[in-house]
Amino acid sequence: MQLPSTTITDGGHITVKPKRTLRLLQLLRPHRALFTAGMLFLITNSLAGLAFPELLGRLINAGKQPEATAYIHEAGIALVVLLTIQAISSFFRTLIFVKVAEKTLASLRQSVYNHLIKLPMQFFLTRRVGELNSRISADISLLQETFTNTIAELIRQLVIIVGGITFLMLTSIHLTLFMLAIMPVMVLIAVGFGRFIRHFSRRVQDQVAASGTIVEETLQGIFSVKAFASEFLEMKRYREKTDEAARIGIQNGKYRAALSSFVVAGIFGALVAVIWRGALIGLDTGQLFSFVLYSVFIGSSIGGLAEVYASLQKSIGATDNLFAILDEPAEPLAPVTRLAPEHTLHGYISFRHVSFRYPGREDTPVLKNLSFQAQANQTIALIGPSGAGKSTIVSLLLRIYDPTGGHILFDQKDSSTFPLSALRSQIATVPQDVFLFGGTIAENIAYGKQDATDAEIIAAAQKANAWEFIQRMPQGLQTIVGERGVQLSGGQRQRIAIARAVLKSPRILILDEATSALDAESEKLVQDALSKLMKGRTAIVIAHRLATIRQADKIIVIDKGAIVEEGTHHELISNEEGLYKTLCEMQFIQ
Ligand SMILES: Nc1ncnc2c1ncn2[C@@H]1O[C@H](COP(=O)(O)OP(=O)(O)OP(=O)(O)O)[C@@H](O)[C@H]1O
């Protein structure tokens, strides 16, 4: 995948760069008013949290004041008010951030999908679809966390650190500096240590998983284990893996033990040192109490900041991946509402000296200087051995790819002068491997024409010889086809695809004959439907069974990307030396 120039990867580690952070924040732009409101609640919430230790300190000290009861009530009520403000602001802050995150992610999902579906075929050639899909959903979930929590946490922690230090400075600059010299260092060491341990725990889990795999595999393949008498070998392998897991686990335990003593000695030690020093310089109980509480707040915010930074780095990596997809140039597609007269096809097709190499396989010419014509309403059959280049011709016709040499003309005009969507909307394909979507039969037929009425769908199904079997199904047109149409037979799927093409009523028809033979009856139904469909249209037929193309106006024999013969069945069959004759003989056709 082509990554944008701003991506900086350093041994798999992604560093935060301002430009990339900005790109992440730009996603929030449409919701900036709502986001700002959320920010206000967040800041209110953080400030209220900040006042908490101070007020608590006052409450503790209130007993020593001359009119103790009044002071105690005052401080107590102030704390209740504070907690109410905190509760309310916390509610709205969470609500608003979730709203912003959900809206942002929905539009991000939509733009990534909308872009992805418009990317040219060559993008998909080098990527695994499953991987792309899980990548995108993982990256988007990461961003969900960022927009709901991470950004808010970052702000909250900054407010607490800055505000907390200010409060402390007001109490005692000397003690604050003392605290700052030891507390953050201890916290950061603890965070770093914690991360190291987490990495170690992952290694333990991997080892345990590896030993689990041995159990699973050997039990599934227990027959082979016994047949090869390898029980003792497997026992040894399992012992090694589990012993290793135990060894790493014990080592991990040592680090954990060290961390907990460090937390007790280091962090609590730092707190003790602060209280000690504070007592020495004469702070009273209340002041000392709020001082310690602020120190804890600040310490945990510094620790939290390190986590937030790591999580932001991951999100920026995720946005880089998503933006890399968005930065890929898409096909210039636009919805076809009405065909302009100059873009209406009349059915004449001409290949002129067309050459082609697949992107990424530039060293292998697939089509070599290919020229042929199809007059309007003619049927042209493409035949030739497997790998000759027949499907490639179809891909070029649909402009899935553009030729690397030569031209393809529709009605004497270069194919590149037609808008892609306008061109494709006038061509229908009935492919070999019919792909049916998981919806109803009606939806699948209407794929050729989204606004088709039920009557039109039924008429198309009748023309495609599909109506009879659809009618026999309990739910008729509303029958749900299973994933990839598994509940339908090959012949039935083909007839649905034909009905789709009937409904689309294309000017040009591309038929890729199924290689797997249908039974005689299905074959006849499919052939009948196809003959009806081909009438009055230009048809390009990729034929595997030569018996079906005798009536073609022209048969083009392709071998290794070049045309080796061209003519009608009768012309070609009389050439004793020809490839067509040989192929016919192999299929017992006279
Ligand atoms: N996406 C691709 N990337 C690279 N090479 C490809 C790609 N698709 C096909 N090819 C190569 O192009 C050549 C022509 O393939 P094509 O699918 O057009 O042949 P075909 O005549 O339709 O074969 P079949 O009858 O088996 O379907 C083959 O050598 C094939 O390996």
- pLDDT per residue as tens digits for the range 457-476: 999 888 888 888 888 888 88
The Å distance, Cα 504 to ligand 1 centre, comes to 27
The Å distance, Cα 488 to ligand 1 centre, comes to 28
Q: How far apart are CA 429 and CA 389, in angstroms?
A: 17
Tell which atom from ligand 1 comes closest to the C-alpha of 392. 18
CB 45 within 8 A of CB 93: yes
The Å distance, Cα 548 to ligand 1 centre, comes to 22
CB 63 within 8 A of CB 22: no
CB 481 within 8 A of CB 438: yes
Q: How far apart are CA 145 and CA 142, in angstroms?
A: 5
- In the predicted structure, residue 15 carries a pLDDT above the cut 50: no
Q: How many residues make up the chain in this entry?
A: 590
Given this model, what pLDDT does residue 247 score? 92
Domain edges within the chain = 15-171, 378-386+417-586
pLDDT band at 310 (very low <50, low <70, confident <90, very high): confident
Q: How far apart are CA 91 and CA 84, in angstroms?
A: 11
- In the predicted structure, residue 288 carries a pLDDT above the cut 50: yes
pLDDT band at 539 (very low <50, low <70, confident <90, very high): very high
- In the predicted structure, residue 44 carries a pLDDT above the cut 90: yes
Q: Which range, of 18-32, 349-363, 449-463, averages the lowest pLDDT?
A: 18-32
Residues 6+ apart with CB under 8 A from 493: 434, 436, 485
Give just the sign of the alpha carbon dihedral 20, 24, 28, 30. Answer: positive
* Residue with token string 């897991």: 245
Given this model, what pLDDT does residue 341 score? 85
Q: How far apart are CA 372 and CA 390, in angstroms?
A: 13
- In the predicted structure, residue 98 carries a pLDDT above the cut 80: yes
- In the predicted structure, residue 16 carries a pLDDT above the cut 70: no
What single string gives the DSSP state of each residue in 292-336? HHHHHHHHHHHHHHHHHHHHHHHHHHHHHHHHHHHHSPPP-----
- In the predicted structure, residue 485 carries a pLDDT above the cut 90: no
Phi/psi for 409 (5° steps) reads -115, 140
Tell me which amino acid residue 100 is: V
Residues 6+ apart with CB under 8 A from 181: none
Q: How far apart are CA 359 and CA 102, in angstroms?
A: 38
User: Mean pLDDT, to the nearest integer, of 160-180?
Assistant: 90
Tell which atom from ligand 1 comes closest to the C-alpha of 394. 18
The single-letter DSSP state of residue 32 is: H
- In the predicted structure, residue 1 carries a pLDDT above the cut 50: no
Tell which atom from ligand 1 comes closest to the C-alpha of 125. 1
Annotate 480-502 with b (16+ C-beta within 10 A) or e (fewer). ebeeebeebebbbbbbbbbbbbb
Note the pTM of the prediction, 2 decimals.
0.73
Q: Whose CA is nearest to atom 6 of ligand 1?
A: 358
- pLDDT per residue as tens digits for the range 209-241: 888 888 988 998 999 999 999 999 999 999 999
Q: What is the CATH number of domain 378-386+417-586?
A: 3.40.50.300
**Bridging pattern class, strands 379-383 and 538-542:** parallel
Given this model, what pLDDT does residue 186 score? 86
Given this model, what pLDDT does residue 508 score? 94
Residues 6+ apart with CB under 8 A from 571: none
CB neighbour class for 535 (10 Å; exposed up to 12, middle 13-18, buried from 19): exposed
Q: How far apart are CA 241 and CA 73, in angstroms?
A: 64
* Residue with token string 């206000």: 40
**Bridging pattern class, strands 538-542 and 508-512:** parallel
Q: Under CATH, domain 15-171 is a member of which superfamily?
A: ABC transporter type 1, transmembrane domain (1.20.1560.10)
CB 430 within 8 A of CB 498: yes
Q: How far apart are CA 429 and CA 343, in angstroms?
A: 19
- In the predicted structure, residue 557 carries a pLDDT above the cut 80: yes
Structure tokens at 195: 């991360």
The single-letter DSSP state of residue 438 is: S
Tell me which amino acid residue 399 is: R
What single string gives the DSSP state of each residue in 233-256? HHHHHHHHHHHHHHHHHHHHHHHH
pLDDT band at 514 (very low <50, low <70, confident <90, very high): low
Q: Is residue 164 helix, strand or coil?
A: helix
Ligand 1 contacts (CB < 6 A) are 125, 358, 361, 366, 384, 386-392
pLDDT band at 7 (very low <50, low <70, confident <90, very high): very low
The Å distance, Cα 57 to ligand 1 centre, comes to 79
For 364: left if phi > 0, alpha if psi spans -120 to 50, otherwise beta; the answer is beta
User: Considering only CA atoms, which of 321, 320, 325, 326 is closest in space to residue 20?
Assistant: 320
Structure tokens at 434: 């019919």
The Å distance, Cα 542 to ligand 1 centre, comes to 13
- pLDDT per residue as tens digits for the range 339-380: 888 889 998 999 999 999 998 888 999 999 999 999 999 999
Q: Is residue 464 helix, strand or coil?
A: coil
User: Considering only CA atoms, which of 454, 486, 138, 82 is closest in space to residue 317?
Assistant: 138
CB neighbour class for 181 (10 Å; exposed up to 12, middle 13-18, buried from 19): exposed
- pLDDT per residue as tens digits for the range 393-439: 999 999 999 999 999 999 989 999 999 989 999 999 888 878 888 78
Instruction: Give ipTM to 2 decimals.
Output: 0.96
The single-letter DSSP state of residue 548 is: G
Q: Which residue has the higher pLDDT, 524 or 390?
A: 390
Tell which atom from ligand 1 comes closest to the C-alpha of 382. 21
Q: Whose CA is nearest to atom 26 of ligand 1?
A: 386
The Å distance, Cα 436 to ligand 1 centre, comes to 23
Annotate 87-103 with b (16+ C-beta within 10 A) or e (fewer). eebbebbbebbebbbee
* Residue with token string 């790109």: 23
- pLDDT per residue as tens digits for the range 105-137: 898 888 889 999 999 988 887 777 777 887 788
Q: Whose CA is nearest to atom 2 of ligand 1?
A: 358
Given this model, what pLDDT does residue 83 score? 93
The single-letter DSSP state of residue 485 is: G
Q: Of 351, 362, 366, which is best to mutate to test ligand 1, by the most ligand atoms within 8 angstroms of its C-beta?
A: 366
Tell which atom from ligand 1 comes closest to the C-alpha of 395. 18
Q: Which range, of 23-32, 117-126, 541-550, averages the lowest pLDDT?
A: 541-550
**Bridging pattern class, strands 405-410 and 413-414:** antiparallel
Q: Of 121, 129, 390, which is best to mutate to test ligand 1, by the most ligand atoms within 8 angstroms of its C-beta?
A: 390
Q: Which range, of 89-93, 148-152, 155-159, 314-318, averages the lowest pLDDT?
A: 314-318
Mean of the per-residue pLDDT values of the chain? 85
The Å distance, Cα 395 to ligand 1 centre, comes to 10
The Å distance, Cα 364 to ligand 1 centre, comes to 11
Given this model, what pLDDT does residue 11 score? 34
Q: Taking the CB of residue 359, how many other CB atoms lie within 10 A of it?
A: 13
pLDDT band at 480 (very low <50, low <70, confident <90, very high): confident
Given this model, what pLDDT does residue 6 score? 33
